[in-house]
Copies of this chain bind each other. A is one copy, B any other.
């Protein structure tokens, strides 16, 4: 059993990480940090916690205190800027679910995240934790962004098989992707019956995607009137390879990512509430483009599920331990 601290446990990603840790056969919850809930019981987060047996959640402590705990694993669920300020003090594993350690070029933070990175020299020490595409190792894991995960699951294995200038990604995300802080743009009176593009051609996940692919892409995100789930529709031109075959081979052994049969399109409805991802591949009938679509849950494979999966890899646990991978949810 490895023990776990969650810092920033009251946000969406912290709460979902907590849920997976509680369900994980080899992880033990040690401390939960939240500045807004410090000193309060677990029922302050959810009234059902600690009521009916099962593993108990300790009282919330401050994030500062939680970071001082000498845990085997620390999940950091803070804002980008707060996470960037951290100096990991313990010898344990740190999984940062923010964007603070995903980019190697520290100068990009000022442009895309709005702050100067306080520890530019440390960035080289973090591993980009996308286990289907990267050999996860070491003790510092930068957990990928939700849009980047969906885009790279679709395009990562095709990196050397598509025309770099051909790539267009049109993405759509559920509202939990916007974080829990209330804003005008997250008000249900704005969101319901609406679809709104935002940061058109200028989203901060593009440098993250470009860093992995080796070339820039065109990317437009849209906010959907759904609670959870993210779908990326990717348009590419092949340099000759059979793109479906490349993807099917790449994910042949995966219990997390499924390449759907010919003619079947991914849907949010099948991946919501799970840590799975689906990929569909289509040949356009009018042009020479291939359309690769990836669906996942922004809080699952796009955040907390991937964070736990990274830990599973580092500790040699089964890849799907603690993950939610049901088969036939309606």
Cα A173 to Cα B110 in complex, Å, equals 37
Do B328 and A19 have beta carbons less than 8 Å apart?
yes
Contacts of A225 in B (CB 8 A): 188, 192, 224-226
- With A189-B227, A193-B272 in contact, is A52–B255 under 8 Å at CB? yes
Do A172 and B222 have beta carbons less than 8 Å apart?
yes
Partner of A284, one of B45, B218, B283: B218
Contacts of A47 in B (CB 8 A): 258, 260-261, 264, 270, 278
Of A65-73, A128-136, A153-161, A285-293, the stretch lying at the interface with chain B is A285-293
Partner of A220, one of B23, B233, B267: B233
Cα A12 to Cα B187 in complex, Å, equals 12
Contacts of A83 in B (CB 8 A): none
A2 within 8 A of B: no
Contacts of A235 in B (CB 8 A): 168, 170, 218, 220, 235
Do B49 and A200 have beta carbons less than 8 Å apart?
no
A140 within 8 A of B: no
Can you name the residue of chain B whose Cβ is closest to the Cβ of A112? Answer: B285
Q: How many copies does the complex hold?
A: 4
Cα A231 to Cα B195 in complex, Å, equals 8
Do B269 and A201 have beta carbons less than 8 Å apart?
no
Do A189 and B201 have beta carbons less than 8 Å apart?
no
A216 within 8 A of B: yes
Do B195 and A226 have beta carbons less than 8 Å apart?
yes
Contacts of A287 in B (CB 8 A): 165, 216-218
A326 within 8 A of B: yes
A282 within 8 A of B: yes
A166 to chain B: closest CB distance in Å? Answer: 9
Do B193 and A327 have beta carbons less than 8 Å apart?
no
Do A291 and B200 have beta carbons less than 8 Å apart?
yes
A219 within 8 A of B: yes
A35 to chain B: closest CB distance in Å? Answer: 16
Do B328 and A22 have beta carbons less than 8 Å apart?
yes
Contacts of A182 in B (CB 8 A): 182-184, 186-187
Contacts of A278 in B (CB 8 A): 47-48
Cα A117 to Cα B107 in complex, Å, equals 56
Most buried by B among A53, A190, A202, A293: A190
Contacts of A265 in B (CB 8 A): 196-198, 200
A266 within 8 A of B: yes
